[in-house]
A and B are shown apart, each in its own frame.
Chain A
């Protein structure tokens, strides 16, 4: 039990006010705030500097601690969420315990939001300094707790992002669980035909990676598996997984069951006999699939899966499988719990339901399709063997209109306000594919502006222009259909020529927006990750920490964090894997020492706090003949919910203790000029 009665020392506080160039000094009178700080009780020295976070700025803190024998530091600058760690280090460098530091936020919550009220902003900054000095006067030495880190990692989502993250972690020597909810890894990329701007065949570059994942000894691949529950914290996550009943066992599982030479070999004999026919979601419903299926021939692992929602349990497949005894129609879901040190989320995206933009007629007009459907139709292994045909009559289209920003950059409230970032580029790719595969056919691209920002992307754009694609700048207002011919009329305004366009085409391809998956909300809550306004998972800092999250030990890769193409997805995945490997290689992490402590003399042993703790960190114990509460520090996360509740004030919340908070309240309300 740490000592909770503070030694009586006369606090000597140093206050440092930052200009942040003109960011703060532009609306807050720094000199005024600094002079005011000198008049406050306990303040031994006050100073100012252009950039407190710079090396000389930090040096000022360390020097002042030694020179003035300070007991606490206040820096009035930006947000503690940005620079608290920086100034804690500076405090430490001066020989003080780093937790004797308090920050007054006079930028994000002052100078930047009161830019035209310099007087009020200066008054507010003075109050903030006074409040911070009051807290700093009551801060105590604290010591972060080091906990060992489990030497395993987990990646959730087996698209190209998740696979890359898992491969990197595994190659760094870390045992990695790769959890994928569908029966195969690969994600969206396996549905694509070619990839811009190089036009490599998507499967050809993806399949080897999928096989690498499967073969890697450090990767435990868990397909058809979902995360059910998450407990613990960085270094020690306990993740409960639901292995969905696949109805089919692998050769390894067969061996474990003593079935010699058994298990699924991927022969497909079962498929031939299965009487149930359902639309294949991998082919977006454009091809059939049986109740026992693989998504596509290259699935990894190559194991069949029974769709128990449509299976009629006739048993024909079991018979066809014969001695391999791979099919078990009574199989049930299994729960398993694994311990991991860090987690990478790479759960990807889904396509915005573009039928919501009814003016473009998707699902109403046969020959209006989405770009993803185009990918399947143009793909040699797709439902039409790579022939682009009109769904209405199977004819080859001669004029194809592409509608860009379909549901993206849409502020009507129906679509998405953001740019989906890869639609311009893949539509250029589609235009190229039409010109190449179907001589004489003309692609018409309706665009707002072409965003070809990547390496060799602009060049690709020029190339497609040269190849003869027609570009019409203007958002498509609506699409109508000739009910006889099933041809379509695209109505738009050509904003370059300033005149309306009514173009008759055989087919329309909507470059539909993308959106966070339906389960994103559930996943982020399981892992305690926030999302941005548009629903994508929120990074810890948009510029300086784009792979991290606000939950220590959880990192982001790929489109789940926001739209990005394959190169950016892979790059972020490598960043996330590297970030996720750091705590594991370090072997231990420091937890902020914001633990609850029981002040035993005050504790009545009533136990009311015990159910308040969401982490079961509190218990009643017998001590010296009386009942008192005891905190298990390893479980306490420092939320303070118990401390906010104890009717006897018997809980000391380190760094957010009642006397510290009350001192802040008093300093604001009683401490100023009355």
Chain B
């Protein structure tokens, strides 16, 4: 398990139209959640190249979250389906590389689900904390 003061490094790649808006709404409602996630905004989760995620893990990320619109709600119709398919494949790649696939998570949070964004944040951070630091960091030591 992790050392006492270890703080996980978690990156979230989130779509502009749903999850980013949902995260903003959580702010408007002053929903409090732990601060360990850093977000990068893309227009749609369809933009998420699996290599971005591999790059993040290679850089030492302890967890990656990809979050978009609910199925059927994607601003560009089907970017989230395409992304979900890629994430599914990527999870098996990660497993084969010895990275617990729970470190990669895809969620669907709409523009009106501020409270859900808070829950997702809390949950993702807890999952990664329970898993401890990424093995890639250890490997590089």
- Which residues of the partner chain A approach B131 to less than 8 Å between Cβ atoms? none
Instruction: Take A128-B38, A533-B112, A665-B40 as given contacts and tell me if A108 and B24 are in contact as well, using a CB distance cutoff of 8 Å.
Output: yes
- A639 and B23 contacting across the interface, CB-CB below 8 Å: no
- Which residues of the partner chain A approach B23 to less than 8 Å between Cβ atoms? 108-109
Interface assignment of B39: CB less than 8 Å from any CB of chain A: yes
Stretch of A116-124, A150-158, A443-451 lying at the B interface: A116-124
Interface assignment of A638: CB less than 8 Å from any CB of chain B: yes
- A670 and B75 contacting across the interface, CB-CB below 8 Å: no
Contact with B along A4-17 (1 / 0, CB 8 A): 00000000000000
- Which residues of the partner chain A approach B113 to less than 8 Å between Cβ atoms? 533
Interface assignment of B111: CB less than 8 Å from any CB of chain A: yes
Interface assignment of A656: CB less than 8 Å from any CB of chain B: yes
- A661 and B111 contacting across the interface, CB-CB below 8 Å: no
**Nearest chain-B residue to A670 (Cβ)?**
B59
- B32 and A661 contacting across the interface, CB-CB below 8 Å: no
- A116 and B32 contacting across the interface, CB-CB below 8 Å: yes
Instruction: Take A530-B112, A639-B44 as given contacts and tell me if A550 and B30 are in contact as well, using a CB distance cutoff of 8 Å.
Output: no
Could you count the A-B residue pairs with CB atoms below 8 Å apart for me: how many are there?
154
CB distance from B111 to the nearest CB of A (A): 5
Per the bound structure, the CA–CA distance linking A638 and B43 in Å amounts to 8
Number of contacting residues on B, CB 8 A? Answer: 52
Instruction: Take A525-B73, A664-B40 as given contacts and tell me if A113 and B59 are in contact as well, using a CB distance cutoff of 8 Å.
Output: no
**B32's contact among A107, A115, A131, A530, by CB below 8 Å, is which?**
A115
Interface assignment of B20: CB less than 8 Å from any CB of chain A: yes
Interface assignment of A81: CB less than 8 Å from any CB of chain B: yes
Interface assignment of B65: CB less than 8 Å from any CB of chain A: no
- B30 and A115 contacting across the interface, CB-CB below 8 Å: yes
Interface size class of A (residues with CB under 8 A): 35 or more
Per the bound structure, the CA–CA distance linking A358 and B28 in Å amounts to 37
CB distance from A553 to the nearest CB of B (A): 13
Interface assignment of A282: CB less than 8 Å from any CB of chain B: no
Instruction: Take A81-B16, A641-B82, A658-B49 as given contacts and tell me if A113 and B27 are in contact as well, using a CB distance cutoff of 8 Å.
Output: yes
CB distance from A180 to the nearest CB of B (A): 26
- Which residues of the partner chain B approach A82 to less than 8 Å between Cβ atoms? 24
- Which residues of the partner chain B approach A614 to less than 8 Å between Cβ atoms? 76-79
Contact with B along A264-293 (1 / 0, CB 8 A): 000000000000000000000000000000
- Which residues of the partner chain A approach B59 to less than 8 Å between Cβ atoms? 665-666, 669-670
Interface assignment of A36: CB less than 8 Å from any CB of chain B: no
Per the bound structure, the CA–CA distance linking A131 and B18 in Å amounts to 21
- Which residues of the partner chain A approach B17 to less than 8 Å between Cβ atoms? 530, 550
With a 10 A CB-CB cut-off, give which of B16, B61, B86 has the most chain A CB atoms: B16
A 497-531 contacts with B by CB, 8 A: 525, 528, 530-531
Per the bound structure, the CA–CA distance linking A536 and B44 in Å amounts to 23
Interface assignment of B128: CB less than 8 Å from any CB of chain A: no
Interface assignment of B11: CB less than 8 Å from any CB of chain A: yes
CB distance from B14 to the nearest CB of A (A): 10
- A662 and B82 contacting across the interface, CB-CB below 8 Å: no
CB distance from A25 to the nearest CB of B (A): 15
- B27 and A669 contacting across the interface, CB-CB below 8 Å: no
- B43 and A594 contacting across the interface, CB-CB below 8 Å: yes
Instruction: Take A112-B27, A645-B82 as given contacts and tell me if A669 and B44 are in contact as well, using a CB distance cutoff of 8 Å.
Output: no
Per the bound structure, the CA–CA distance linking A70 and B4 in Å amounts to 43
CB distance from A498 to the nearest CB of B (A): 35
- Which residues of the partner chain A approach B30 to less than 8 Å between Cβ atoms? 112-113, 115
Interface assignment of A392: CB less than 8 Å from any CB of chain B: no
Per the bound structure, the CA–CA distance linking A615 and B46 in Å amounts to 13
Per the bound structure, the CA–CA distance linking A639 and B48 in Å amounts to 10
CB distance from A513 to the nearest CB of B (A): 19
**Nearest chain-A residue to B56 (Cβ)?**
A665
- Which residues of the partner chain B approach A120 to less than 8 Å between Cβ atoms? 35
Interface assignment of A127: CB less than 8 Å from any CB of chain B: yes
Per the bound structure, the CA–CA distance linking A110 and B36 in Å amounts to 10
Question: Which 6 pairs from chain A and chain B are nearest by CB?
Answer: A640-B47, A641-B46, A108-B27, A639-B76, A669-B59, A112-B27
Report A's interface with B, CB cutoff 8 A: 79-82, 105, 107-110, 112-117, 120-121, 123-124, 127-128, 131, 525, 528, 530-533, 538, 550-551, 594, 612, 614-615, 637-641, 643-645, 649, 653, 656, 658, 661-662, 664-666, 668-670
Report B's interface with A, CB cutoff 8 A: 9, 11, 13, 16-18, 20-21, 23-28, 30-33, 35, 38-44, 46-49, 51-52, 55-56, 59-61, 72-73, 75-79, 82-83, 86, 110-113, 118
Chosen A-B contacts, 6 in total, with CB atoms closer than 8 Å, are A108-B24, A531-B112, A532-B112, A643-B49, A649-B51, A658-B51
